[in-house]
Copies of this chain bind each other. A is one copy, B any other.
Amino acid sequence: MASGGENEQVSNKQVILKNYVTGSPKESDMYVSTNGTIKLKVPEGSNGILVKNLYLSCDPYMLDLNNMKNYGASNTDSKPPVTPLVGYGVAKVLDSEHPNFKKGDLVWGITKWEEYSLITNVEGLFKIQHTNVPLSYYTGILGMPGITAYAGFYEICSPKRGDHVFISAASGAVGQLVGQLAKLLGCYVVGSAGSKEKVDLLKNKLKFDEAFNYKEEPDLDAALKRYFPEGIDIYFDNVGGKMLDAVLLNMRPHGRIAVCGLISQYNLDKPEGVHNLMHLLIKQVQIKGFVVTDYYHLFPKFLDLVLPHIAEGKIVYVEDIVEGLELGPAAFVGLFSGHNVGKQVVLVSKE
Contact = CB atoms under 8 A, between A and B. Distances in A.
A284 B294 contact: yes
Contacts of A82: none
Contact of A287 (B271, B283, B287): B287
A240 B273 CA distance: 13
Interface in A265-299: 265, 270-291, 294
Contacts of A246: none
A109 to B, nearest CB: 20
A262 B289 contact: no
B284 A291 contact: yes
Nearest to A275: B271
A244 interface: yes
A252 to B, nearest CB: 13
Interface residues of A, number: 30
A271 B280 contact: no
A48 interface: no
Contact of A273 (B259, B275, B286, B289): B275
A259 B283 CA distance: 11
A285 B284 contact: no
A191 interface: no
A265 B278 CA distance: 8
B283 A289 contact: yes
B294 A289 contact: no
A143 interface: no
Nearest to A283: B289
A261 interface: yes
B281 A271 contact: no
Given A271-B275, A275-B272, A276-B271, A262 B287 contact: no
Given A262-B277, A262-B281, 14 more contacts: A259-B277, A259-B281, A265-B278, A271-B275, A271-B276, A273-B275, A280-B287, A281-B291, A283-B289, A284-B289, A284-B290, A285-B288, A286-B286, A286-B287
Listed from nearest, the 10 A-B pairs whose CB atoms lie closest are: A273-B273, A280-B289, A281-B289, A286-B288, A271-B275, A287-B287, A259-B280, A274-B274, A259-B281, A273-B275
9 contacts: A240-B277, A259-B280, A261-B281, A262-B281, A271-B278, A273-B273, A279-B289, A284-B291, A285-B289
